Every structure is written in C-alpha cells, then in structure tokens.
C-alpha cells in the first residue's frame, strides 16, 4: 500500500507521491541555494574579502537578494501555469520567507552598522530621503506578508481575503524597484532590468486576470 495517499487509485497515488518527493527535494535544494549569498558574505567577512567599504557591500548584496527573491516569488504562479508543475506552489512560501530574511538583514545592516541604532537619524532618513521612505514601506509590507503567511492566518482570514492581502507582494515589488531607481545616482541599467522583469510579471498577472474575468462572463451568459 502506498503511504502517501492510500485513498487514491494506484496511478494517482504514484503521481502524488512523485510530486511530494519532487517538492521535498525542491525545498531542500532551494533552502540550501538561498543560504549561499549569506554564506558568501560570511566567508568574505572572515577572509578580509569585503573591500574598503564592507557596510556598502553588505547593504548592496542583501538589498539585491531581497529584490531577486521578491521577483522569484512573483514568478512562481506564472511558471506553474506555463509548466503545469504544481509542486512549484509548495516552494513559494519558502522563497517569500527568504526574501523577508534578506530584507531583515538589509534593514539590520542599515540600522545597526550604518546608523548605530540612532533612532532620531533613522526616523529623519525615513521621513526625508525618498528612497529610504519607499524602501521602508516595502519592508513593512514584507513583514505583514511574512507574519500572515502561515496556515493559521489563511484559516483566520479565509482563502479569498488571504489571497487579496497577499497580492500586496506586487506593491512590495513596485516599491522595492522604485527604492532602487531612486537610490542610484548615475547608472540606471541594473534597476531598470529589475523594473522590466517586474513589468513582465505584472502584465502577465493582469492578462490572466482579464482572461479569467472574460471566461467567467461568457459562462454566466451561456447559463442565462
Ligand atoms: C523590501 C525592501 C527592500 C528592498 C527589496 C531593497 C533593495 C535594495 C537594493 C536592490 C539596493 C541596491 C543594491 C545595489 O546597489 O546593488 C538597496 C540599497 C540600499 N537600501 Fe534597500 N531595500 C529594501 C529596504 C530598505 C530599507 C527598509 C532600508 C532602510 C530603512 C534600505 C536602505 C538601503 C540603503 C541605505 C541602500 C544603499 C544606498 C546607497 O548605496 O547609496 N533598504 N536596497
């Protein structure tokens, strides 16, 4: 007897076990891969490899990885739809939580290594420097998404409300890209690459939403 889903027929049991196995392996691989940027920073710090301005290197690396992981989280649904690999949904939460993890390291680098916990300085920056204001807003959204990412919160809010709340990840992505565009002084190439990636993901999302709405309307009209 197959131990994964004993109530399903044999072929479905094998399919489910295979996707459970794929999910488990994918989770391990993603967990290890997501720790590589942190391990590289720690390695460099221990071997004098962070250069003349270590705080800048740490801020930039953690900021980059937060943004990359937010965009990766956003690309999971389109990837799942295109490839029909349903296990992908099972790794979305983990990638989102890693985005939050690197966002926290990024924020900690700023308040600890850059500002030495000087609350007055930090609040002034948040109020006066527009790239900090939007970065901070993105981080606050990221905190709320991480806190409500549990099964308990899905149950408490109800599936539909929870989905609505978690669409805020798109706004988080937009604020994060604006944060990057506003902080760059000369070469806009890298932030614009992220902006293009985000625009593609947003366009896909709006496109599928419009298609779904149109097909719902057609079904309603056919039923009348
Ligand atoms: C979701 C939240 C955030 C994301 C995705 C993000 C992302 C980034 C990125 C991509 C960079 C540039 C990295 C590079 O040049 O390679 C950056 C730089 C920076 N971020 Fe953030 N950030 C976020 C939140 C914050 C917050 C909350 C603060 C502080 C309150 C902050 C402060 C900074 C600073 C000081 C820099 C360096 C600016 C410079 O070099 O002049 N960020 N961030």
Q: At what angle do helices 89-108 and 130-147 cross, to 10 degrees?
A: 140
pTM (two decimals): 0.91
Are 2 and 10 in contact, with CB atoms under 8 Å apart?
A: yes
- pLDDT tens string 79-97: 999 998 888 999 999 999 9
How many whole angstroms from 167 Cα to the centroid of ligand 1?
22
Q: How confident is the model at residue 2 (pLDDT cuts 50, 70, 90)?
A: very low
Closest residue by Cα to atom 17, ligand 1, is: 63
Distance 196 CA to ligand 1 centre (A): 18
Is 50 exceeded by the pLDDT of residue 1? no
Write the residue with the smallest CA distance to atom 7 of ligand 1: 63
Average pLDDT (188-213) is: 95
Average pLDDT of every residue of the chain: 92
Average pLDDT on 160-185 reads: 96
Cβ atoms 99, 69 nearer than 8 A: yes
Find the 26 Cα to ligand 1 centroid distance in Å. Answer: 29
CA atoms within a 13 Å half-sphere pointing along the CA-CB vector of 108: 8
* Local confidence band at 125 (pLDDT 50, 70, 90 cut-offs): very high
Nearest-atom index, ligand 1, CA of 60: 13
């Amino acid at each position: 007897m197959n131990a994964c889903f004993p109530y399903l027929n044999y072929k479905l049991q094998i399919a489910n076990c295979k996707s459970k196995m794929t999910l488990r392996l994918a989770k391990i691989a993603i967990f290890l891969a997501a720790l590589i940027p942190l391990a590289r920073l720690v390695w460099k710090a221990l071997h004098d490899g962070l250069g003349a301005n270590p705080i800048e290197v740490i801020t930039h690396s953690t900021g980059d990885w937060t943004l990359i992981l937010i965009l990766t989280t956003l690309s999971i649904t389109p990837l799942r739809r295109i490839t029909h690999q349903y296990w992908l949904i099972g790794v979305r939460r983990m990638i989102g939580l890693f985005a939050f993890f690197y966002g926290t390291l990024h924020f900690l680098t700023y308040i600890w290594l850059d500002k030495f916990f000087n609350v007055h300085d930090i609040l002034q920056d948040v109020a006066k420097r527009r790239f900090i204001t939007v970065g901070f807003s993105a981080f606050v959204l990221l905190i709320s998404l991480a806190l409500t990412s549990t099964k308990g919160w899905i149950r408490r809010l109800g599936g539909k409300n929870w989905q609505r709340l978690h669409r805020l990840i798109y706004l988080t992505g937009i604020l994060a890209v604006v944060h990057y565009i506003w902080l760059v002084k000369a070469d806009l190439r890298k932030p614009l690459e992220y902006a293009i990636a985000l625009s593609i993901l947003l366009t896909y999302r709006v496109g599928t939403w419009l298609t779904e709405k149109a097909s719902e309307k057609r079904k309603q009209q056919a039923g009348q």
